[in-house]
Amino acid sequence: MSSLALALVKDRYWGLPWYWPQVVLLDGSDPCDIAMAAGEDYLVSGRRVRYGMLDVNSCSRTQPLSYAQIDLRTLDGSHCASPGGTLIGRVTEGGRWFLPSNPPVPNAPLTLRDQDGRDHTTMSDADGIYELQHLAPGDYTLDSHFSQTQYLSSQTLSAVEGTCLERHVLLRSYDFSGRTPPGLQGDISVRLLQTDGSPVTLSDSIETDGKFFFSNVPDGEYLLAAESGMLGANNNFYYPGTFDLKKAAHIKVVSHKPANISEFNFNLDAWPLVPVMVTPDPPHNPDRYSWRVRLLSSDYVASERSWTVGEKTIRIYAARGASYKIVLYGFSNHPTEYDNCASDPANISAQPGLIVRVKIPSSCQ
């Protein structure tokens, strides 16, 4: 294996002029170090530096051909065409991270739910690859349930108009689970505590549908708490739904499993964070700005979300009953030509069912 290798070009897709040689030098040295194996076939994604030489070291998608089915499928752009966007990826067995060498999971059913509550279903193929085309722009929630002992884990899934986004899904094992509201995985953590309130262990994962999972928990008696810096001094919200440590349910774990219940669903009617639905007006113009919705508390950023091209509504969570300002910030795509931009702040008191329309100034359009 070597980070400098000679390669024989078998197929040219695009990017190489006709007059380039059939044998090229691939440079996979620093900063991302790709060591290429002699005799292995690769799909090469490189940068031309001089005649006959390609840099493949800039965190490129150069990879063994046996792992490159997604790239080959989407190379001509036909799978990414409008209307809507495409989510594509591989379902594999694995731990916390996706690795190309993880065993694929064929024929795995997947269900994604859009912001209007509609389900979009698909199934992975024999190579473990799933694909959903022509999805309306915006965020999607993956149903993490797979079986009584396994769940599906993913990054945030967002569709972008006319674009293929690669989002892999891991099949992981668990012993017991529970549920919080969906879309909070970046704002909260869920952990088991000693009965005196001292921390023990974090959950293995909180998924986009709000489900959290634990595995290999030592035997003992615990409390279960959701934690968030957005809750201020009372940052522990105990299962089943209280800030009072004395009213928290005690959970006994025997042989890694709770003694009398397998799923711990928090009382969502008492949940301290509520979703605020923000509708920007007019629609997104991606040519001039990249937009983010910010929730400000005393002029500090409590939470923020990106505004995807074509997305009609952005969901952002706020502490129930607290006062905030909501501002839409546009970050200039050409800062030497024009500055960043911001909407006028909208003052809110966070309550369930709140919908806020934010007007973009004409100077920002």
Q: How confident is the model at residue 234 (pLDDT cuts 50, 70, 90)?
A: low
Compute the CA torsion angle 304, 172, 86, 359 (nearest 10 deg).
-10
Say if residue 197 is in the same domain as residue 207: yes
The size of the chain, in residues, is: 365
Asked which of 223, 240, 265 is the last residue of a domain, the reply is 265
Residue with tokens 């060591």: 35
Residue with tokens 């993880």: 102
Say if residue 140 is in the same domain as residue 214: no
User: Quick one: how far is CA 57 from the chain centroid?
Assistant: 26
Say if residue 248 is in the same domain as residue 328: no
Asked which of 27, 52, 67 is the last residue of a domain, the reply is 67
Summarize the confidence of residues 224-251 as an average pLDDT: 88
CB 135 within 8 A of CB 87: yes
Residues 259-274: tens digit of each pLDDT: 878 899 999 999 999 9
pLDDT of res. 166:
94
User: Quick one: how far is CA 245 from the chain centroid?
Assistant: 32
CB crowding 218-234: b at 16 or more within 10 Å, else e = eeeebbbbbbbebbeee
Q: How far apart are the first and last CA of the chain?
A: 52
Say if residue 247 is in the same domain as residue 186: yes
pLDDT of res. 101:
81
User: Where in the sequence is the domain holding 139, given as residue range(s)?
Assistant: 69-173
Say if residue 103 is in the same domain as residue 47: no
Domain count, the chain: 4
Structure tokens given for 192: 């088991």
Say if residue 61 is in the same domain as residue 75: no
CB 170 within 8 A of CB 98: yes
Say if residue 223 is in the same domain as residue 194: yes
pLDDT of res. 60:
85
CB 303 within 8 A of CB 316: yes
Quote the pTM value.
0.87
Residues 308-365: tens digit of each pLDDT: 877 888 999 999 999 999 999 999 999 999 999 999 999 999 999 999 999 988 878 7
Q: CA-to-CA distance for 293 and 311, rounded, in angstroms?
A: 12
- How do beta strands 47-50 and 53-55 pair? antiparallel
Query: What residues pair up with 201 in beta bridges, in sequence order?
Result: 192
CATH number of the domain residue 123 falls in: 2.60.40.10
Residues 54-81: tens digit of each pLDDT: 999 877 889 999 889 999 999 989 999 9
Residue 126 phi, psi (nearest 5): -65, -25
Angle at alpha carbon of residue 309, lines to 305 and 315, rounded to 5°: 30
Is the pLDDT higher at 100 or at 135?
A: 135
Structure tokens given for 191: 């952990």
Say if residue 82 is in the same domain as residue 144: yes
Say if residue 168 is in the same domain as residue 187: no
Q: CA-to-CA distance for 128 and 168, rounded, in angstroms?
A: 10
Say if residue 61 is in the same domain as residue 74: no
Q: What's the whole-number average pLDDT of the chain?
A: 91
Structure tokens given for 308: 């995807």
Structure tokens given for 32: 């991302």
Q: Is 255 left (phi over 0), alpha (psi -120 to 50) or beta?
A: left
Residues 150-175: tens digit of each pLDDT: 999 998 899 999 999 999 999 999 99
Asked which of 129, 149, 173 is the last residue of a domain, the reply is 173
pLDDT value at 233 more than 70:
no
pLDDT of res. 115:
84
Q: CA-to-CA distance for 6 and 50, rounded, in angstroms?
A: 15
Residues 273-310: tens digit of each pLDDT: 999 999 988 876 777 888 999 999 988 998 999 888 77
pLDDT value at 144 more than 90:
yes
Query: What residues pair up with 169 in beta bridges, in sequence order?
Result: 91, 154
Q: What share of the chain is helix, strand, coil (3-state, %, to 5)?
A: 5, 45, 50
Say if residue 188 is in the same domain as residue 260: yes
Q: CA-to-CA distance for 231 and 180, rounded, in angstroms?
A: 15
Say if residue 29 is in the same domain as residue 18: yes
Count Cβ atoms below 10 Å from residue 326 Cβ, excluding itself.
22
